[in-house]
Amino acid sequence: MTQDLEQAHAARGAQPDGAVDERTAAVAVRDMFDEIAGRYDLLNHVLSANVDRLWWRRTARTFRHVLEQPDARVLDLCCGTGDMTLALRRQSPPASQAYFGADFSHQMLRRGEQKFRGKGAIAIEADALQLPFADRSFDLVTSAFGFRNLANYNAGLHEIHRVLAPGGEFGILDFSEPGGLFGKLYSFYFRNVLPAIGSAISGSRSPYQYLPASVHRFPSPQAMMEEMRTAGFCDLSWTPYTFGIAGLYRGRKS
């Protein structure tokens, strides 16, 4: 019973140090990403040994059946500096309509906008919990390593459901906590070595102390899929990447 209550509490949303409600949590997350935006890409590649690039490409290939349609309407949510957005774009025909990359961190989005120029992607500064899009606007919504930072996971899922067209698909790529001996070794790296390296390179401690805490707080794959089912999605799945360090959640709006 205690574990179930802890999991239910964890499922509410991100909670950085000092946050007392959803508003202050969102502000703290935005400020953290604004602060490290200049070195965000470098840190991602260094800390993951470039495995993050493989994860983006694998996710994009998973949705190739949607992306190959020239009229597909695509939104990459919490896009950061735009790497997932561009990975999706590379799977699409040259004449496809522009994809949208949305994020509420101004400094992260500025760097994404620079990458998007001439590549068929449009940067939109927007809150994932209050998207400036009409109902049923997209055929595919993705989010790579951003959904976990939302102040309210359930509200985020409902907003994704709202902007998806009937039959539309979504994919959430995010970190997980692998089990077994590998999981113990990785946990030591993730909770001790990674924050030290990230803090040294970025010059800021809090974002890389927040990272492992946010992953631990995020719902387990089973609990997350139950949240998705409650939000109205079907055909749910979770596919682990790289021994379960990360994984792709998938679903469809029925």
Question: What per-residue confidence (pLDDT) applies to 206?
Answer: 85
The closest alpha carbon to 79, from 25, 31, 40, 24, belongs to 40
- Say which range, 61-70, 153-162, 182-191, has the weakest mean pLDDT: 182-191
- The sign of the CA dihedral 35, 107, 73, 56 is negative
64: pLDDT strictly greater than 90: yes
Task: Find where tokens 């522009």 sit.
Answer: 98
Q: Which has the higher per-residue pLDDT, 177 or 47?
A: 177
Q: Is the pLDDT of residue 50 over 70?
A: yes
For 217-246, what is the mean pLDDT?
Answer: 96
pLDDT of residue 232: 97
Least confident stretch, 13-27, 198-212, 220-234 = 198-212
Position 228 pLDDT exceeds 90:
yes
Q: 227 and 147 in contact (C-beta within 8 Å)? A: no
Residue 203's pLDDT band, with cuts at 50, 70 and 90, is confident
Structure confidence at residue 178 (pLDDT):
94
More confident of the two residues 76 and 197: 76
Tell whether the model's pLDDT for residue 1 goes beyond 70: no
* pLDDT score for 242: 95
Please give the Cα distance from 130 to 89 (Å, whole number). 24
Q: How far apart (Å, rounded) are the C-alpha atoms in residues 217 and 224?
A: 12
Q: What gap in Å lies between CA 221 and CA 4, rounded to an integer? A: 14
Least confident span in 3-7, 73-77, 135-139: 3-7
Question: pLDDT at position 201, please?
Answer: 81
Beta-carbon contacts of 33 under 8 Å, excluding residues fewer than 6 positions away, are 40, 80, 105, 107, 108, 149, 207
Domain boundaries, the chain: 2-253
The b/e string for 55-84 (b: 16+ C-beta within 10 A; e otherwise) is bbbbbbebbeebbeeeebbbbbbbbbbbbb
Give the whole-angstrom CA distance, residue 35 versus residue 12. Answer: 25
Q: Which CATH architecture has domain 2-253?
A: 3-Layer(aba) Sandwich (3.40)
Tokens describing residue 230: 């409650």
Residue 103 confidence (pLDDT):
98
